[in-house]
Chains A and B, each alone.
Chain A
Amino acid sequence: MSWNIDRRTFLRGTAGALLPLPMLNLMQASERSKKQSKPPVRFVTLFKPNGVHPPSWNINGGSEHDFRMSPQMKPFEKHKDDLLILDQMGDFGFSSHASSTRRFLSGHHTNGRSASIDQLIADKIGADTAHRSIELTTEGLFPNQIGCSYISYDRKGNPIPRETDPQLIFDRLFRSPLSDATKRQEMSSLLDRVREDAKSLSLKAGLEDRRTLDEYLSVVRATEKRLDNLNQASLSKVDFSKLKRPDTSVNLNDQVETMLDLIGLALWTDSTRCITYMLGNSNSRMIFDFLGVKEQHHYLSHFFRNSSRHNLEGLLKISLWHMEKFDYLLTKLKSYKDGNGSLLDHCVVLFGSGMGHSDNHTVTRIPVVLAGKGGGMLKTGRYLRYAENQRLGGLHLSLLRGFGIDVDSYAKSSTPLPGLDGSPIKTYKEQPFESWVKVQGKTITVQGRLRMSDNLDESRVFFVDVAGKPPVRVEVGFGDFHHFNLAYHCGTAVTMTGKGSQHDGKTRITKVTELKSVFGKKPGTLNG
């Protein structure tokens, strides 16, 4: 692809706070790209560590077009029209952290000898770009279970090294003498300088010094030769010298946002078309002190084992932060114009985790959200809850085919996941139940679906939805919360009796005395 850039266009456009230079609209500026009917489709993966907290994540009781986004989804609710939220993804049974990481992009945790889909896609779409693919993360390796540290695998199933440093990535993309003309020129004049320096030293040098200087000069000559031999064509058509190099990150938030900025920039400048980014190892023990949370993330993710109001609040803060970063990425991708739409329109963004319930380590209801229209590959603005568990391999097979890769099966899944493009699916059927509320003095009995408050800052607040009436607010102490296991029942139909009050049509329970599941199943067998 060839970009024709008008310097003045640097004054227009949008870019993030960390790369404040006004950017040009590359795609529009190119004569050739006007003729091209379609901009390339890119594939971006954002991995969230430590599963999810299902009571606040799951969507319950919605339908394809009419659904209520869950409290944890609030940060990216504004992108609803660009999302395809998949539910009932996964398998049966228990998942380790390492196997959940492999599963996320490799279809199944036993699929250990093949490439992950990002790499297969990169093979297909990455040939014309300077960088075939880029693999990113935020933290170091976890040698105890090395699989926790990688989602991208090569064709032999070996993990692909990941990079954590935004400056290093920036330099690799935009400051390499191999591709950047300014940098090449700079290196070339430096070589002139040091050669003169070494030669003048050599005049006065003794034998040993001269041998060393000869060795030095031969490296200088070899470097010059290498620069000369580089084809002019290898230089990028875009002048990157105006891009501002990000400053050293001051904390995790800064580091991650800078990296997300770079992801946008790398895709938009067509430096690469395939990027995977892990927000942490799948069992991350990072400490989010900038959010005021002092406990390790993995410890908090076992929210039942380590149950306390304080721990839950910490976990929800971290989870919301992850969702905000997903929002940040989508907003960034939308801000770039690409062809006749936005960059997001020509991306497939896969966001999620390889595990569902972070305390039980379940493989059911794995969080998976697709975003972007993928140049028409995805029909967004929908919520798909499948009738039965869908292996990730089926989703992966669909995506591979969407990117034009002709395969019969992937990770032992030979049926592509239906519905991504709007094709019909078998949807999940809930058992119908009645909802009502009865108030007798201070005793309140309500039947309906229990859910957490949309505002996760008030994690002590729950609601029971009643058809045609305002929801009943449940606001109880930690004793009740723990004893009746409110979080566990979230998303399901319950009959709750308790003490409370009613004012202005608003009903409120402040002490639970009895809680029954409407369908009478034992804890551990219901959704959530």
Chain B
Amino acid sequence: MYFARFITAALWLCLWLLDSSALASAPTFEADIKPLVAKYCVKCHSGKKPKGKIDFTKIATAQDAAAQFEVWESAIELLGDDEMPPEDAKQPTKAERAKFKTWYQERLVRSVKAHPGYFKPRRLSATEYRNTLRSLFGFDLEVAVVEAEQTVIEKSLVMKLLPLDPPGKSGFRNDTSGNPLTTVTWDQYAYLTDAALERFFSPSSKKQLEAITGPVVDDSITKSQAKKILRSFLPRIYRRPVPESDLSQAITAVNSADDFVAALKIELKAAMMSPRFIYRGMLMRGKSDVQRPVDDYELAERLSYFVWADMPDAELTQLAAEGKLGDSATLESQIDRMLASAKARSLAEDFAAQWLSLDEVAKNMRNPPQRIAFQSQPIDFMHHLFTANRPLIGLINGRFAFVNRYTQGFYSGDRRQLKPHKKPKGIEVQTVPNQLITLNSTPERGGVLTIPGVLQMNRGPVLRGVWMLERILGDHLPDPPMNVGQVPKNKRGQNLTFRQRFELHRSKATCAICHDKIDPLGFGLAGYDGNGGFAKNRRGPNKIDTAGRLPSGETFENFQELRQILVTSQREKVIRNIVRQMLSYALCRKLKIYDRPTVDKIVEKVNNDKSTYRDLIIEIANCLPFRQTVLRGKKS
């Protein structure tokens, strides 16, 4: 969780000195803020078990304060929402509140300048490794298995054998920095490399082989063809040009071997087991300890792994070689080309699936065609948002859906748009593709929040509220206390609804801090049952209470009104979260304090109803942390 995760001391802090021109008169930490904190906060946030694991007594100097930027970031939010200090505690005066806000804005936020962060080599994730292998060789390394309806199997040999990457601090699996290479992974790399090379030189891959060597006679390549293979593969394996001396060394090794095909395989295997292949960015060179643009090959690699989760293709590499990729018009047209490619589906399957926890959708549904129907709905939806130039806020109010026979029941108003699908004779069960429909007469659907599988994944108001807060609004909640207990049943003679009993249960101040935020969102979706179905609301005592009041004071009667709030007064919050999530995925790391100016700048540009995901991708591809880096010197 957020509070638990903040990093204690940052080595880099000395670099971001105060912007001295700004503020002579602004409050300072030691003179103004520390006494305020001592007066209102330290009572709970200190000692052996400080509340929320925040100990304010450990923040002694202005430097400490700046190092723990994230603590103040949430403190300012809680103060602004009147959530802290808690109601029953001593409250700061208006003047004190203002002083705190001024200090935060003028000293703290302004003190942090945009910085690209220090460069770190990053190991390819399992998905990236699979895709890269596919692009290198021109085939998918797959398990031989007969595919039949209703059966499931991991077809990719890479995904079957490589350990799944746990999400990094960013929450994304491409953030592999905390997941070191192990001997298990090493053995699997060695095995997969062998398997790929065996396949490449076998008759079944003649097409792929000849694409590089030209016609092959009698299934055996010549020495000059071996040379061609080395010249084609080595730069692609290393994802940048290889010095002529290295190339000729490899060529000589192959030429002088008794069994030159075996020697060729050894050269290729050594390259694919080298750190230059396994890690991204290992070969970036240049002046250290200064902020500078990344070179064009690194840019090609960043762009390609961002949009495709795959290595750069020939066109990107060519533009990098010509030094043209950094040019903004070129970059824009390349992004358009990349989004039009089938490989861009990784944005939905990897980025969106991890951001929105879509792997949890229909996880326990046992009938594969039905499960696939529910799982593919949000993935197809996100893919369409990303690649069909849809506005960012379409996440909440996109009036379209991907539907098939298993899910059409949820779209009664518009299901007639579906073209009928007829099963062939003798096929008992079948997985069927989704069709895109426009939501004209199904007002209760639209956007990712009302997709049946997403509603099923989060049953009940609390899970739904938490998911919306964290995944859609980008809020961070602390862990709930251990002793929350159960919502009590109705006592004899009592006739309260679940919502009424729940509200009594969580009326304690400690619960209210979070539940005031969670519950209105969660109960706003109460019109949708645990299966994601929507029931027309009833009158009288059985009426489902979907009304709510947000901490901002805004009220709504039902989900459609809540959705309207999300796309208007709460729009910036939603869009800021989209920007943060996508930037974090693109950079393969958790965003840091020094990314805030970058995020602010992008949000300012795209916080409107028209800016699209394509626009956002272009903004990200042009932003400072994506385009620049600092290499750490040998000794720092």
A-side residues, CB < 8 A to B, are: 138-144, 149, 164-168, 171, 175, 186-187, 189-190, 193-194, 197-198, 201, 204-210, 212-213, 215-216, 219-220, 222-223, 226, 245, 247-250, 252, 255, 280-281, 284-287, 294-296, 298-300, 306, 311, 314
Q: Which residues of B contact A314 (CB under 8 A)?
A: 426
Q: Check if A139 sits within 8 Å of B145, measured CB to CB.
A: yes
Out of B144, B275, B429, name the residue touching A165 (CB < 8 Å): B144
Q: Which residues of A contact B181 (CB under 8 A)?
A: 215-216, 219
Show 29 A/B contacts (Cβ-Cβ < 8 Å), sorted by A. A138-B146, A139-B147, A139-B153, A140-B151, A142-B151, A144-B367, A165-B145, A167-B144, A168-B143, A175-B194, A189-B266, A198-B274, A198-B275, A201-B282, A204-B285, A212-B120, A213-B275, A215-B180, A222-B183, A223-B186, A223-B187, A226-B183, A247-B203, A249-B144, A255-B146, A285-B149, A285-B429, A286-B148, A298-B428
- Given A138-B145, A255-B144, do A247 and B202 touch, yes or no (CB 8 Å)? yes
Q: Which residues of A contact B144 (CB under 8 A)?
A: 164-167, 248-249, 255
Q: Which residues of B contact A206 (CB under 8 A)?
A: 119, 288, 631-634
In the complex, which residues 74-110 of chain B have their Cβ closer than 8 Å to any Cβ of chain A?
none
In the complex, which residues 562-603 of chain B have their Cβ closer than 8 Å to any Cβ of chain A?
none
Q: Which of A138, A215, A248 lies at the interface centre, i.e. has the most chain B CB atoms within 10 A of its CB?
A: A248
Q: Which residues of B contact A140 (CB under 8 A)?
A: 145, 147-148, 151-153
Q: Measured between C-beta atoms, what is the minimum distance from A487 to chain B in Å?
A: 19
Q: Check if B425 sits within 8 Å of A295, measured CB to CB.
A: yes
Q: Which residues of A contact B275 (CB under 8 A)?
A: 194, 197-198, 201, 212-213, 216
Q: How far is the CA of A20 from the CA of B203 in the complex (A)?
A: 15
Q: How far is the CA of A140 from the CA of B631 in the complex (A)?
A: 47
Q: How many residue pairs bridge A and B at CB < 8 Å?
A: 162
Any A CB within 8 A of the CB of B270: yes
Any A CB within 8 A of the CB of B204: yes
Q: Which residues of A contact B427 (CB under 8 A)?
A: 295-296, 299
- Given A207-B636, A208-B121, A222-B183, do A299 and B426 touch, yes or no (CB 8 Å)? yes
A139-B153, A208-B121, A212-B275 known; 11 other A-B pairs, CB under 8 Å?
A139-B147, A141-B151, A143-B367, A149-B151, A164-B146, A193-B270, A197-B274, A198-B275, A210-B634, A245-B198, A250-B204
Q: Which residues of A contact B429 (CB under 8 A)?
A: 285
Q: Which residues of A contact B366 (CB under 8 A)?
A: 143-144
- Given A201-B276, A226-B183, do A164 and B198 touch, yes or no (CB 8 Å)? no
Q: Would you call the interface of chain A mostly helix, strand, loop, or mixed? A: helix
Q: Measured between C-beta atoms, what is the minimum distance from B371 to chain A in Å?
A: 8
Q: Which residues of B contact A306 (CB under 8 A)?
A: 426
Q: Which residues of B contact A285 (CB under 8 A)?
A: 148-151, 428-429
Any A CB within 8 A of the CB of B635: yes
Q: Which residues of B contact A166 (CB under 8 A)?
A: 144
Q: Which residues of A contact B185 (CB under 8 A)?
A: 219
Any A CB within 8 A of the CB of B269: yes
Q: Check if A190 sits within 8 Å of B270, measured CB to CB.
A: yes
Q: Which residues of A contact B182 (CB under 8 A)?
A: 219
Q: Measured between C-beta atoms, what is the minimum distance from A260 to chain B in Å?
A: 14
Q: Measured between C-beta atoms, what is the minimum distance from A55 to chain B in Å?
A: 20
Out of A165, A294, A311, name the residue touching B424 (CB < 8 Å): A294
- Given A219-B183, A252-B146, do A295 and B153 touch, yes or no (CB 8 Å)? no
Q: Which residues of B contact A215 (CB under 8 A)?
A: 180-181
Any A CB within 8 A of the CB of B118: yes
Chain B interface category by residue count:
35 or more
Out of B148, B180, B425, B631, name the residue touching A284 (CB < 8 Å): B148
Q: Check if A194 sits within 8 Å of B426, measured CB to CB.
A: no
Any A CB within 8 A of the CB of B257: no
Any A CB within 8 A of the CB of B321: no
Q: How far is the CA of A296 from the CA of B367 in the complex (A)?
A: 17
Any A CB within 8 A of the CB of B368: yes
Q: How far is the CA of A150 from the CA of B412 in the complex (A)?
A: 41
Q: How far is the CA of A222 from the CA of B183 in the complex (A)?
A: 7
Q: Which residues of A contact B6 (CB under 8 A)?
A: none
Any A CB within 8 A of the CB of B487: no
Out of A143, A168, A226, A296, name the residue touching B148 (CB < 8 Å): A296
Q: Which 7 A-B pairs have the closest CB atoms?
A: A295-B426, A140-B153, A140-B151, A164-B145, A207-B632, A286-B148, A193-B270
In the complex, which residues 159-188 of chain B have their Cβ closer than 8 Å to any Cβ of chain A?
180-183, 185-187
Any A CB within 8 A of the CB of B199: yes
Any A CB within 8 A of the CB of B195: yes
Q: Which residues of A contact B147 (CB under 8 A)?
A: 139-140
Any A CB within 8 A of the CB of B190: yes
Q: Check if B148 sits within 8 Å of A287, measured CB to CB.
A: yes
Q: Which residues of A contact B202 (CB under 8 A)?
A: 247-248
Any A CB within 8 A of the CB of B273: yes
In the complex, which residues 365-424 of chain B have their Cβ closer than 8 Å to any Cβ of chain A?
366-368, 424
In the complex, which residues 251-282 of chain B have their Cβ closer than 8 Å to any Cβ of chain A?
266, 269-270, 273-276, 278-279, 282
Q: Measured between C-beta atoms, what is the minimum distance from B140 to chain A in Å?
A: 11
Q: Measured between C-beta atoms, what is the minimum distance from A314 to chain B in Å?
A: 8
Q: Which residues of B contact A167 (CB under 8 A)?
A: 144, 195, 198
Q: Which residues of B contact A190 (CB under 8 A)?
A: 190, 266, 269-270, 273
Q: Which residues of A contact B498 (CB under 8 A)?
A: none
Any A CB within 8 A of the CB of B16: no
Any A CB within 8 A of the CB of B191: yes
Q: How far is the CA of A168 from the CA of B636 in the complex (A)?
A: 46
Q: Check if B151 sits within 8 Å of A281, measured CB to CB.
A: yes
Q: Check if A143 sits within 8 Å of B152, measured CB to CB.
A: yes
Contact indicator per residue, chain B 594-636, by CB within 8 Å of chain A (1) or not (0):
0000000000000000000000000000000000000111111
Q: How far is the CA of A391 from the CA of B634 in the complex (A)?
A: 75
Q: How far is the CA of A222 from the CA of B269 in the complex (A)?
A: 19
Name the residue of chain A whose CB is nearest to the CB of B271. Answer: A197
Q: Measured between C-beta atoms, what is the minimum distance from B110 to chain A in Å?
A: 29
Q: Which of A219, A245, A284 lies at the interface centre, i.e. has the most chain B CB atoms within 10 A of its CB?
A: A219
Name the residue of chain B whose CB is nearest to the CB of A192. Answer: B270
Name the residue of chain B whose CB is nearest to the CB of A221. Answer: B183
Q: Which residues of A contact B269 (CB under 8 A)?
A: 190
Q: How far is the CA of A478 from the CA of B202 in the complex (A)?
A: 49
Q: How far is the CA of A220 from the CA of B273 in the complex (A)?
A: 10
Q: Measured between C-beta atoms, what is the minimum distance from A247 to chain B in Å?
A: 5
Q: Which residues of A contact B203 (CB under 8 A)?
A: 247
Q: How far is the CA of A169 from the CA of B238 in the complex (A)?
A: 31
Q: Which residues of A contact B194 (CB under 8 A)?
A: 171, 175
Name the residue of chain A whose CB is nearest to the CB of B193. Answer: A190
- Given A207-B634, A212-B279, do A141 and B285 touch, yes or no (CB 8 Å)? no
Q: Check if B632 sits within 8 Å of A194, measured CB to CB.
A: no
Q: Which of A190, A207, A294, A295 lies at the interface centre, i.e. has the most chain B CB atoms within 10 A of its CB?
A: A207
Q: Which residues of B contact A222 (CB under 8 A)?
A: 183
Q: Which residues of A contact B118 (CB under 8 A)?
A: 208
Q: Which residues of A contact B149 (CB under 8 A)?
A: 285, 296
Q: Check if A143 sits within 8 Å of B368, measured CB to CB.
A: yes
Q: Measured between C-beta atoms, what is the minimum distance from A7 to chain B in Å?
A: 18
Q: Measured between C-beta atoms, what is the minimum distance from A246 to chain B in Å?
A: 9
Name the residue of chain B whose CB is nearest to the CB of A300. Answer: B426
